[in-house]
Structure formats: structure tokens, C-alpha cells
């Protein structure tokens, strides 16, 4: 009599989900159910856990694009949050020039670090819009050697304060900490933080495999702005969909995300290898858009 077949235990797969500007963790969860379902169905050998933290910056009605609130308006806006606020402030290193500053970014990264500490370790990250920019930052901060890169910049006399490595991410680089470099990052309508203040997030280039979704009709984060981030990722792939500023839930785009995650996990299981596509040629620069994040 043949021995009974044993079922191999399912492997845990933890994915960090970062919402966009004016959203929240629960709201982002409601918008990613199709993606969750597709990943869960396609990876039956894994127990997938999705974590949806909410950004620490509670936004005022004035921070919400397109919302016109008056005292006569009886409807209060839904709670809206961000990982930071974008402001144009005088540059401390240039006479009379202005620079884009992400106020509250340290608090946003601290919130994410706390989520990694309490709900991780994570295998990958998925982010939308401002959350996609944050996702790339998180992937960068968890890469080997990134802390040293920040430290070398901090020795420069004109370095901006936020270019120092966030203290909340130091423990993840200590020996024995279970949080390793992420296996993948999926970026929906993402962009790079502009200017030299945040350059060490991207210098050297990110080595985490990334998949970038760009919408040809996205009027909030245009393709050129999204490519400021893809150009800073060594193993970047692009999926261009004919839509706007949202997560595409049609089958081709779900299949692209699922296939990318499956490939990254397989390469990690087999000992790594060159993930994603190679570095593309440099795109022409684009002026900063007048957006609040």
C-alpha cells in the first residue's frame, strides 16, 4: 500500500501596500481587491498577507485637489491621509532659489518602518501614486549599501537634512534582523522625489526588481514624470495601460503583475539572478508638475 501523500506547507508571502495621496489603508484595500484575488489565485503554494498602513499626515480639505469646502457645505470630506506634504521652500544651499520639500516625510517613513517591524518581514511592496514614490524609497532603504551611501552624502557640508538615512530604518540593516532586501516592488503611477535633497534614495540606482504601471491618460502623474523613477531603477520593467490615474484591474494588467511577482519569487528561490529588464536609455527631463505631492 502506497504511503499517503503529504502536502507541503504553504510558504508565507507578505506584501506591503502603500496608498496614494488623500487615501487611507482601508480605502486602498477596497481598490486593490482584484489584484489581491489574482495574486492569491495564482500563487496557491503561498499564504499571502497584505498589510495596509495609513499615512500619518491627516490632510485638511484645502490639501485635497478639487475639493471646494465652505462653511455652508453640510458634507464633511472623507478622512484623507498622505505620507508627506509637498511644499516649495527657499533652498538652504542656493541664493533665492526654491526647492520642493516633502514636509513630514520622516513621519511617513517612521510609520512604514513601524509596520515592517510589527507586521513584517515583507517580501515585496506595492504602491500607488504618492505611495508608489514611497514604495521605491522603502525598497531603496532596505538595499545593502544604501545606508553607507547616505552616510557619505551626510559628510558633505551642503547636504540637506532629509538626505540623512532615516533612523527608523537602521535596525533593518543590523545583523540578524529578518527584514532583508525586498524581492520586488510594483509601482502604479509612481515618480521620483525631485532634486538633490532626495538624490541618495536613487544613487546608486535601485537594484530591487521593479514593475512600473504607467497610464497614457494619466493627467496627475504623466508618463514623463513616472519615468523619472523608472530611470533610477536598474531592473525596471514598464507596463503601459490606456487609462488614467488608477490601478488597472483588467486581465492583461493583472496578469502582468502576477507574472512579475511569480518570476521574482522563482528567481529568489533559485538563488537570485538578473531580475527585471536592463537600464534603459535616459529620457529627456520634464518640468515639475503643479501637483500637491
User: Which residue do the cell numbers 513584517 mark?
Assistant: 120
Nearest of 194, 190, 225, 193 to residue 210 by alpha carbon:
190
**Angstrom distance (rounded) from CA 103 to CA 119:** 26
Q: Which distant-in-sequence residues (6+ apart) come within 8 Å of 163 by Cβ? A: 150, 153, 154, 196, 197, 198, 199, 200
Residue 170 annotated among the catalytic residues of the structure: no
- Strand 184-188 with 236-241, pairing: unpaired
Task: Say which of 129, 140, 149, 189 is annotated catalytic.
Answer: 129
**DSSP per-residue codes, 129-152:** THHHHHHHHHHHHTSTTHHHHHHH
What cell does 72 get?
Answer: 455652508
Task: Say which of 245, 249, 268, 288 is annotated catalytic.
Answer: 245
Task: Say which of 149, 212, 218, 241 is annotated catalytic.
Answer: 218
Residue 129 annotated among the catalytic residues of the structure: yes
**Angstrom distance (rounded) from CA 85 to CA 102:** 5
Nearest of 168, 200, 206, 171 to residue 187 by alpha carbon:
206
Q: Which residues are catalytic?
A: 129, 218, 245
Amino acid at each position: 500500500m502506497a504511503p499517503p501523500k503529504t502536502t507541503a506547507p504553504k510558504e508565507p508571502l507578505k506584501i506591503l501596500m502603500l496608498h496614494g495621496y488623500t487615501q487611507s489603508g482601508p480605502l486602498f484595500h477596497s481598490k486593490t481587491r482584484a489584484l489581491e484575488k489574482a495574486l492569491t489565485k495564482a500563487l496557491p503554494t503561498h499564504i499571502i498577507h497584505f498589510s495596509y498602513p495609513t499615512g500619518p499626515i491627516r490632510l485638511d480639505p484645502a490639501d485635497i485637489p478639487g475639493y471646494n469646502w465652505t462653511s455652508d457645505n453640510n458634507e464633511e470630506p472623507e478622512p484623507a491621509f498622505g505620507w508627506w506634504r509637498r511644499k516649495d521652500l527657499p533652498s538652504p544651499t542656493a541664493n533665492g532659489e526654491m526647492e520642493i520639500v516633502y514636509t513630514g516625510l520622516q513621519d511617513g517613513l517612521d510609520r512604514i518602518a513601524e509596520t515592517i517591524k510589527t507586521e513584517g518581514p515583507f517580501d515585496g511592496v506595492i504602491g500607488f501614486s504618492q505611495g508608489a514614490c514611497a514604495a521605491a524609497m522603502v525598497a531603496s532603504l532596505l538595499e545593502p549599501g544604501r545606508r553607507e551611501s547616505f552616510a557619505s552624502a551626510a559628510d558633505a557640508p551642503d547636504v540637506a537634512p532629509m538626505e540623512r538615512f532615516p533612523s527608523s530604518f537602521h535596525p533593518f540593516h543590523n545583523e540578524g534582523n529578518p527584514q532583508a532586501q525586498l524581492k520586488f516592488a510594483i509601482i502604479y503611477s509612481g515618480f521620483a522625489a525631485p532634486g538633490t535633497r532626495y538624490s541618495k534614495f536613487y544613487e546608486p540606482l535601485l537594484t530591487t526588481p521593479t514593475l512600473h504601471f504607467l497610464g497614457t491618460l494619466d493627467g496627475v502623474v504623466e508618463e514623463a514624470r513616472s519615468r523619472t523613477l523608472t530611470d533610477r531603477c536598474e531592473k525596471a520593467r514598464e507596463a503601459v495601460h490606456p487609462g488614467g490615474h488608477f490601478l488597472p484591474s483588467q486581465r492583461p494588467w493583472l496578469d502582468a503583475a502576477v507574472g512579475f511577482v511569480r518570476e521574482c519569487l522563482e528567481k529568489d528561490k533559485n538563488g537570485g539572478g538578473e531580475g527585471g529588464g536592463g537600464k534603459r536609455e535616459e529620457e529627456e527631463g520634464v518640468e515639475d508638475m503643479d501637483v500637491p505631492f
